[in-house]
Structure 1
Amino acid sequence: MIRHCVFIRFRDDVAAAARQDIYNDLAALCGKLPGVLSFHAGANVSPETGMDKGFGEGFIIDFADAQARDAYLDDAGHRAIGGRIVAAAAAGVQGVFVFDLDM
Structure 2
Amino acid sequence: MFEHLVSFKFKEKLSASKEKELLDALYSLPSQIPGIIQLTTGSNETTETGNIQGYTLGLRVTFTDQQALLDYGPHPAHQSFVSLLDGLIDNVIVIDYPIV
Please say whether Structure 1 and Structure 2 have the same fold, judged by a TM-score greater than 0.5. Answer: yes
- Secondary structure of 2:87 counterpart: helix
Q: CA RMSD in A?
A: 1.6
User: Please, which of 86, 96, 101 is the counterpart of residue 92 of structure 2?
Assistant: 96
**Counterpart-to-counterpart distance in 2, 1:45 and 1:15:** 16
Bigger fraction of residues in strand: 2
> In the alignment, is residue 53 of structure 1 matched against residue 49 of structure 2?
no
Is 1:72–2:98 an aligned residue pair? no
Q: Quick one: which amino acid aligns to residue 102 of structure 1?
A: P
Change (3 A) 1:16 1:101: farther
- Among all aligned residue pairs of Structure 1 and Structure 2, give the percentage whose two residues are the same amino acid: 25
The number of residue pairs the alignment matches comes to: 99
- Normalising by structure 2, we get a TM-score of 0.85
Q: Distance in 1 between matches of 2:6 and 2:58?
A: 5
Distance change >3 Å, CA 84–CA 68, structure 1 → 2 = same
Asked if 1 retains the 8 angstrom alpha-carbon contact of 2:33 and 2:77, the reply is no
TM-score (norm 1): 0.83
2-structure distance, mates of 1:7, 1:86: 16
Task: Give SS of 2:85's match.
Answer: helix
- Moved segments of 4+, more than 6 Å: none
Q: Which runs of 5+ in 2 are unaligned?
A: none
State the Cα distance separating 1:57 from its structure 2 match: 1.3
Change (3 A) 1:61 1:17: same
Q: CA deviation at 1:98?
A: 1.1
